Structure formats: C-alpha cells, structure tokens
Chains A and B, each alone.
Chain A
C-alpha cells in the first residue's frame, strides 16, 4: 500500500479559527454548487447569483425584508441552540411557533380589548406561554416516560398546524372574510411597531438581538447554562456533579418553546396582522440549521439567521425572476447543513508528517 509522507489526525481541540472557518467553507461550497446548478440550467451563473442574492438587498424595502425574515429564525434558533447544547433535540419549533401564534392570537382577538394598554404585553406573553406549553409535552414525555423528544416534538408540529386549520375554518374565522380560512385583522394597537417606514421589519428584531445577549450571558456566566452544557457533553458527568438531567431537558425544551412561541406571535402580530392557516414558511425547521450554522452560539446564531434569511429571499427571487420553484429554498437549506457538517469534519483535522519508517 502506498504510504504518504504525511497523515491526517483528528485535532484534540478544534481551534476557534477552525470552528469559525467551517461555516465560511460551507458558504463557499454552497456558492460553488449554486453556480454549477445555474450553469446546468443554462442560466448565466454569476449574474443569476447576483440576481437572487444581491439584488433583493438593493433597496431599503429589501433590507427590511431581509431583517424581517431573520427575526423569527433568530428567535427560534437562539432557543434551539441552548437545547442542542444540552443534547435536547427539539425539532418541533415549527409547532411551538404555531401554538405561540394561536395563544397570542387568541388573546389579541378576544381578550385585548379588556386589557387596554396591557393588551400588547399580554399578547406577547401568551405567545411565549403557548410555545412553552407545547414544548412542555415532549419534555414531560421524555422525563417521565423516556420517550425521544425528536419524534414527539415533530408529531406535535402536525397537530398544532391542524389545530390552527380547525380554528381558521371554524370558531375563529372572520365572519366578514368571504369564507377565507383566516381570522379578522388584529387591532392596530396590537400590531408591533415597524423599525422604519417604507419596509415591514418590526421591533421584534430588537427583541431577538436582546435575547441573543441574554443567551450569551446565560451560557457563558450562569451555572444553569454550564450545567446544561455538561449534560449535553457528558451526561454521566452531569449526574455525578448533581446537575439533574431532567432539569436540563425541561430548561432546553421550555426555553426553545418560549422563543419559538414569541417568533410565532411576532409574525402574526407583525407582517401578517391576523391569524391564518399558513403563518410560517418552515421557519421552525430552518432554525435547526441556523442553530448549527451558528455553532450553537448566540453570536453565531445572529449571523446564521441573516444568512438563512438571505436564502429565503434568494428562493423568492429565484421564483420570480428565474422561474425556479419556491421549494428551491429547502434544497438550499439542506445543502447548507450538509456542507457545514462536512466542513466541520475537515476543519477538525490537521495534517501531520509521518515519522520516518523504521525497519521494513
């Protein structure tokens, strides 16, 4: 067998640079793949890339759309990242987002008039509680019955969406809405203020950025964050140290449920302005990728959400200008995660020279 003068070994501790390099490498691979795809589709590669990723940002409105789509991704992914660090695999953020929208929307539609100035906080709180409650189910099943939260949280996505559909076709349907499956519009007082005129992004973005700071403090400085990290990296060490395993499952699920619920109510009380059957183009699922691309770190998540949002915009642009189907966004997302995972492997390696062969 051919012996190369060097061989590849796994780094014992991936350097910070290597951890940051992986998403960049994945981004480059992603861009190259897109260029190749465009070429195969007989579209001018570089120009197409420009059309779908740069042009949408050329206007203030475009920037607003970019930030608008980043917000729910950021909110969901910040919570998910905390859970993933603790090996808590909540993949049902989409369902928790839906329940957040339902709970918050319910308050907005039927209780807010009674609450006066407290209507908006009550609505947002209800949104968070709705997401939390939905996430509490898998947490309970995992801690009480050892049931994998992966499958249960996912199944609950379908249940939440069906529940929303039922409400939109029945009880909560707008009687003056020509039988569209949607509620009446929320009162103006309950719609989140815009960041600036002439675009649609709301102040929920500030909320997401503020949460990122809190999350950063939580994981860097709090004992609870440390305990969750230990539970994720070495469950036996967590038990040994007395960090209750169940506690980190509950924390992981409830926090991610709350942020997803907040994302849900921020969507319906923001750009949508009412409840309707479809409120999210899969933000809850895309947030899983955002969390990974952001290295499960709050600062990384903020940047990854901006990148993922660009993919959504790119998907829309590809649909409008290049005639590609909308689902192309899903392909982008899957590919990005593949590339990231592979890039992680390669940046975790280093090349060493083989020691000189002895006898033989």
Chain B
C-alpha cells in the first residue's frame, strides 16, 4: 500500500472530527457553568444551514461561518431565556430546542437542498505544506481545523489558568456559593450558553462547507448527540475532547473506507459504528462513579434562581 493512503485516512479523520471538536467544546463551556444544553443537534443544524445559505448567497465562506455562529447563538439564547430566566427544566428545554432547530432548518433549507455549495479551501503554507509526508499530514488543512486546535488550547487555558475560568468552574460547582460571594452567576451562565451555541453553530457550518459541502435535511446525523457524549467522555477537560473527537472521526472514516480496506460487513452495520462506539465509550467512563463525581460540575442541569 502506498503511503498516500494512510495519510488520506488520517487527514479525513481530522476533518471528520473537527465539527465534533467545535460542538463539544461549546457544550463543555456551558456544562462547566452548570448548564446542560441538549439542543446541540438543533443548533448544529441551524448553523449548517446558515453557513451554507450565507456562503452560497454572498460567496463568502467567512460570512457563512459568522452567520452560523449567529444562528447557533440565537437558538442558545432562546434556550437561555427559558432555562436561566424562567427556570424551566434543562433536559426538556434542550430536547425542544433540538426538535425546533431540526424542523426549522429543514423548513427554511428546502430551497438550498439541490444547490452546489462552496467548499472550504485547504491552506497552502509556503515550505511547510511541501514537506514530504508531514506536509500533507499536518499542514494542508483548511483554516477551520487550525482554529479548532487553537480553540481547544484557548478554552483549556482560560478554564484552568485565568480568573474567568476559575469563576466559571466555581459557578458550575455551586451557583449558590458563587452568588453569595458576589459573582454574577446568571451573567456567566448566559455567556457560557451563548458560547456553546456559537460553537455548535460553527461545528454545523464546518459540516456543510467542508465535510460534505452541501445542504441536506438532518445533515448532522446525530453528531450533536455524539458531541454531548464526548463531553462526558472527556470528563469536562478540553484536551480530552480533541482526542475523543479524533476517535469518532476515525470511526466515521473507517466506515467510509471499509470497502477499500477489504472489510466485508454490510454498510448499515458500519454506519452503526459511531453510535455503538458512543455507547461503549460512555459506559467505560461512567462505570466509575467516583471519576464522574470528581470531575462533573456539581450543579450540572440544576435550576438556579437567585433569591431576592
């Protein structure tokens, strides 16, 4: 086998993983603040459509990504309004958001379904991209892949090295105490939820402009839910999100290339792989309750309303 093939598999893995990195990182921020938003799938779909529509209409992919971030953000603010302002059940509200986002994107996206899309071009870095093996392996991705990597580093640094991150973690552990100490609990939660929405939107944008440059109803195919599982798998640590996403990206690629690799299993069973892997990975992490207890934000999913 020629060296190009494994390289192609690796790069395809990274590309398949990137939407998961964005979406899971966003959810990680929200969950670190104690908010469980099950609407990731809906926000990704909204982002995917917004990016596709905006980039096709304007011809600018940057505008597409901005539109996606906005779309995800708007949906997450709707979620914030209900859960943070009105104190509704986070699980039920998140489910409603997913249904709403899926329906809305399918509804509004009908006229875009057959259009050709703009694909995110790979970068060509002088010298670096031309290094044999390492060049195609590391330096020929589109810009969003590098942005995702930078974001992982940025979120990790912010969470564990800055005061903002410290306060966010404190809010996620006990909003009551954080409030008693005078920290703006709800403002931080709003911010975290909005970040989650923007990143989910961007993750969706990457789907419809890079992974498969097109729009189709339900294009995310459960990736929003996998992103949610990834956050648990990562025990709420950004770097582990990255590795988890690569694992799942690899699973997707394996499924597409199974034929070429000579694996004779029906396509449907290969398509089950990411979902089964998600279950397996969740079981492996959750079977040790102490691990969760030590890492999970203690107030996750609980309503906090300030006493007046």
* Direct A–B contact present (CB less than 8 angstroms): yes
Q: How far is the CA of A324 from the CA of B88 in the complex (A)?
A: 31
**B88 to A162, Cβ gap below 8 A?**
no
- Measured between beta carbons, the chain B residues less than 8 angstroms from A342 are 82, 86, 88
Tell me the chain B residues, 270-286 only, with Cβ under 8 Å from chain A. Answer: 271-272, 275-276, 278-279, 282-283, 286
Interchain nearest-CB distance for B269 vs A (Å): 7
Q: How far is the CA of A331 from the CA of B217 in the complex (A)?
A: 14
Selecting from B128-136, B140-148, B158-166, B221-229, the interface stretch reads: B221-229
**B279 to A156, Cβ gap below 8 A?**
yes
Number of residues from B at the complex interface, CB < 8 A: 46
**B275 to A155, Cβ gap below 8 A?**
yes
**B107 to A324, Cβ gap below 8 A?**
yes
**B104 to A334, Cβ gap below 8 A?**
yes
**A170: which of B100, B110, B266, B283 is its contact (CB, 8 Å)?**
B266
**B282: which of A152, A159, A170 is its contact (CB, 8 Å)?**
A152
Contact with B along A316-328 (1 / 0, CB 8 A): 0000000011111
Q: How far is the CA of A18 from the CA of B232 in the complex (A)?
A: 37
Kindly state whether residue B91 has any CB partner on chain A within 8 Å: yes
Tell me the chain A residues, 267-309 only, with Cβ under 8 Å from chain B. Answer: 285, 288-289, 292
**A325 to B292, Cβ gap below 8 A?**
no
Kindly state whether residue A179 has any CB partner on chain B within 8 Å: no
Closest to B98 in A: A334
Instruction: State the majority secondary structure of interface residues on A.
Output: helix
A91-B95, A292-B92 given; A146·B289 CB < 8 A: yes
- Measured between beta carbons, the chain A residues less than 8 angstroms from B101 are 334
**A154 to B99, Cβ gap below 8 A?**
no
Interchain nearest-CB distance for B84 vs A (Å): 12
**B102: which of A144, A159, A162, A330 is its contact (CB, 8 Å)?**
A330
A329-B103, A334-B96, A335-B100 given; A345·B87 CB < 8 A: yes
Kindly state whether residue A151 has any CB partner on chain B within 8 Å: yes
Number of residues from A at the complex interface, CB < 8 A: 45
Q: Most A CB atoms within 10 A — which of B99, B266, B278, B279?
A: B99
Tell me the chain A residues, 183-203 only, with Cβ under 8 Å from chain B. Answer: none
Kindly state whether residue A89 has any CB partner on chain B within 8 Å: yes
Tell me the chain A residues, 54-71 only, with Cβ under 8 Å from chain B. Answer: none
Q: How far is the CA of A326 from the CA of B91 in the complex (A)?
A: 26
- Measured between beta carbons, the chain B residues less than 8 angstroms from A144 are 287
**B103 to A146, Cβ gap below 8 A?**
no
**B268 to A147, Cβ gap below 8 A?**
no
**B97 to A334, Cβ gap below 8 A?**
yes
Q: How far is the CA of A152 from the CA of B279 in the complex (A)?
A: 6
- Measured between beta carbons, the chain A residues less than 8 angstroms from B229 are 151, 155
- Measured between beta carbons, the chain B residues less than 8 angstroms from A91 are 95
Q: How far is the CA of A330 from the CA of B225 in the complex (A)?
A: 18
Tell me the chain B residues, 204-233 only, with Cβ under 8 Å from chain A. Answer: 217, 221-222, 225, 228-229, 232
**A151 to B107, Cβ gap below 8 A?**
no
- Measured between beta carbons, the chain B residues less than 8 angstroms from A166 are 266, 268-269
**B222 to A331, Cβ gap below 8 A?**
no
- Measured between beta carbons, the chain B residues less than 8 angstroms from A338 are 78, 82, 93, 96, 100
- Measured between beta carbons, the chain A residues less than 8 angstroms from B89 are 341
- Measured between beta carbons, the chain A residues less than 8 angstroms from B292 are 146
Kindly state whether residue B50 has any CB partner on chain A within 8 Å: no
- Measured between beta carbons, the chain A residues less than 8 angstroms from B192 are none
Q: How far is the CA of A330 from the CA of B87 in the complex (A)?
A: 24
**B103 to A331, Cβ gap below 8 A?**
yes
Q: How far is the CA of A289 from the CA of B96 in the complex (A)?
A: 8
Q: How far is the CA of A327 from the CA of B215 in the complex (A)?
A: 15
Kindly state whether residue B106 has any CB partner on chain A within 8 Å: yes
Kindly state whether residue A141 has any CB partner on chain B within 8 Å: yes
- Inter-chain pairs besides A162-B272, A330-B104, 15 sampled, C-beta below 8 Å: A141-B283, A145-B287, A146-B287, A147-B287, A151-B229, A152-B279, A165-B268, A288-B95, A289-B99, A331-B100, A331-B107, A334-B96, A337-B96, A342-B86, A345-B87
Interface of B toward A, CB cutoff 8 Å: 38, 42, 78, 82, 86-89, 91-93, 95-104, 106-107, 110, 217, 221-222, 225, 228-229, 232, 266, 268-269, 271-272, 275-276, 278-279, 282-283, 286-287, 289, 292
What are 13 A-B pairs with beta-carbon distances under 8 A?
A89-B91, A147-B282, A163-B272, A289-B96, A327-B102, A327-B104, A330-B102, A330-B107, A333-B100, A337-B92, A337-B99, A341-B82, A341-B86
Closest 10 CB pairs of A and B: A330-B103, A334-B100, A327-B106, A337-B96, A166-B268, A331-B103, A341-B88, A345-B86, A334-B99, A155-B275
